[in-house]
Chains A and B, each alone.
Chain A
């Protein structure tokens, strides 16, 4: 039997049973769609992340109390988190290769402005050591060592939190627990593209001196939350990290602390991304298995319905091979058509995720071909058993059946 004749016979069957054909292919459609979405979103996330990391400071080390964890729940450790003080600042500054140490302490606070409240993150800093922040002032001025009730705010705090814009010269009140302090805004920072990788988004943060921070927090013992350590040479960053971890032991033998670099964060992020990718791949694989079972079911049903027809075909001289090829092709064709529909839907979903959820996606021809390959493969595998059943039918039995 010639190929186009077989295809002709198959397409007649599809047309006659449009609804059944569609229902049977749904699983494959969804599976292929999941694969295409997975590959597109995965690709998009990877390229998005790596483009952000090309602008990331590779010469910065974050030293934090406790154990570093990214994305997941905070890492647990049996030790108390380290309590960082000026002693540690000195120690870090004396490590060879370190150019700058910027201690920071942050807290979630409530801002009061013209009788309305909003929440934001307040960060206590050493103005001298925040060379990076200093360059980001767009209005007013940056803090100085002698400032006490002066505050510098991020662009998102200035614009968007309150009905009215906060400008340099405005007074705001900051509440922390039972305490409050009044500040005068002296500067507004430039809007930064959010990187999502930094410890915090500077657009929604506000900065005051450690002196003011200590007063506001009302703590007898004021500790630093983190050190941003800048090194002279980005190439030496790992050495410095090791040295920091070693040296801090002197003051914090039984306490937990950690030092991380942008590259550490990148690899943590990448492991999260690959987890997401595997999860999506799992969904795709499961739908393909379920879809394959669906196809196998429908093919079995089709073979059962057509037992007599298969008997007739055999009586007329169809070989077992003819019948087997016909039903394998029927499954395969169903798979190819479903896969193409799945690819189209997958592209649509990827675009929708990109524009609605802000998830970057990159659609590549390889993703589509992978979807097609797996979709077609799973249907052909699903078709093997029904096709064999059809091919092995005894023509006499088949002709006798009702």
Chain B
């Protein structure tokens, strides 16, 4: 099943009088169950593309179909709803909220959705257990290690059981051991059938992916499909 379909997506920023095209016509289809790596030098437009795929940003032109729905013209409220229910975000800088506990961080997307307290607490604990950090539930995210933080972030991304996970350099701030742990969890999630789109600079970890897309100068340079072993 096709979950994401981008057709001639363009994004142009206007700075003063000058137009700065960042995406110059992207065509891309992502199938359900894909684990896709997005690579390219900085300035190639991969972050902008990720933001558009993640419904944080809207394209200047082109059509974006997400789960059979044209979202290129969706309102901001609709986009927020899609992010909440259909997409899980994992960031390089973890982006956990420091002033609330690990458990509350995982509960947050469910809070936004209005899941009752007991139900979401149970699910949050379950998710923390599944990524092996349940013992940190009452800690502040500031007082746990980087690897643990990223695992909490994964638990949070999964809170509302989204079909799609967007990971923006998820291992960029992690050591080798944590990188492996995080990638193992992600590929486990992929095996469960979730579609994962990951930006990375690290060619090592593309081995977990079934597709690698290289970008340069606002265009997709080449696509290669890897048969997963």
Contacts and interface: CB of A to CB of B under 8 A. Distances in A.
Given A12-B99, A16-B99, A317-B113, A399 B91 contact: yes
Nearest to A314: B80
Nearest to B108: A316
B77 interface: yes
A317 B97 contact: no
Contacts of B81: 317, 319
A5 B89 CA distance: 22
A321 interface: yes
A153 B85 CA distance: 91
A225 interface: no
B56 A320 contact: no
Contacts of B114: 1-2
Nearest to B88: A316
Given A1-B111, A312-B97, A396-B51, A317 B57 contact: no
Interface residues of B, number: 29
B112 A399 contact: no
A97 interface: no
**Interface residues of B: mostly helix, strand, loop or mixed?**
helix
B99 A317 contact: no
Interface string B52-76: 0010110000000000000000001
B89 A315 contact: yes
Contacts of B156: 316
B219 interface: no
B118 to A, nearest CB: 13
A317 B100 contact: no
B214 interface: no
B113 A308 contact: no
A395 interface: yes
A182 interface: no
B84 interface: yes
B138 to A, nearest CB: 13
Interface residues of A, number: 24
Interface in A311-360: 311-322
A258 interface: no
B76 A320 contact: yes
Interface in A6-40: 9, 12-13, 16
Given A321-B77, A395-B56, A396-B56, A316 B112 contact: yes
A255 interface: no
Contacts, number: 67
A309 interface: yes
Contacts of B85: 317
A9 B108 CA distance: 10
A367 to B, nearest CB: 37
A8 B174 CA distance: 32
Interface string B98-124: 011000100011011110010000000
Contact of A317 (B51, B84, B104): B84
B97 A318 contact: no
B80 A396 contact: no
B95 interface: yes
Contacts of B99: 12-13, 16, 309
A314 B97 CA distance: 13
A322 B112 contact: yes
Contacts of B160: 317
B83 interface: yes
B176 to A, nearest CB: 26
A16 B95 CA distance: 19
B85 to A, nearest CB: 7
Nearest to B101: A12
Contacts of B54: 315
A5 B110 CA distance: 10
A377 to B, nearest CB: 28
Contacts of B84: 316-318
Nearest to B89: A315
B123 to A, nearest CB: 15
Nearest to A4: B117
B158 to A, nearest CB: 12
Given A308-B95, A317-B81, A319-B77, A9 B112 contact: no
A13 to B, nearest CB: 7
Nearest to A402: B93
Contacts of A316: 83-84, 89, 108-109, 112, 156
A236 B77 CA distance: 76
Interface in A360-402: 395-396, 399
Contacts of B113: 317
A83 to B, nearest CB: 82
A318 B57 CA distance: 15
A60 B54 CA distance: 88
Contacts of B117: 5
Most buried by B among A5, A13, A318, A396: A5
20 contacts: A1-B114, A2-B111, A2-B114, A5-B111, A9-B100, A12-B99, A12-B100, A309-B99, A312-B96, A312-B97, A313-B108, A314-B56, A315-B83, A316-B83, A317-B81, A317-B109, A320-B76, A320-B77, A322-B112, A399-B91
Interface of B: 51, 54, 56-57, 76-77, 80-85, 89, 91, 95-97, 99-100, 104, 108-109, 111-114, 117, 156, 160
Given A312-B97, A315-B54, 20 more contacts: A1-B111, A1-B114, A2-B111, A2-B114, A12-B104, A308-B95, A314-B83, A315-B83, A315-B95, A316-B156, A317-B81, A317-B83, A317-B84, A317-B109, A317-B160, A319-B80, A321-B77, A322-B80, A322-B112, A395-B56
Interface of A: 1-2, 5, 9, 12-13, 16, 308-309, 311-322, 395-396, 399
Q: Which 5 A-B pairs have the closest CB atoms?
A: A317-B84, A319-B80, A317-B83, A5-B111, A312-B95
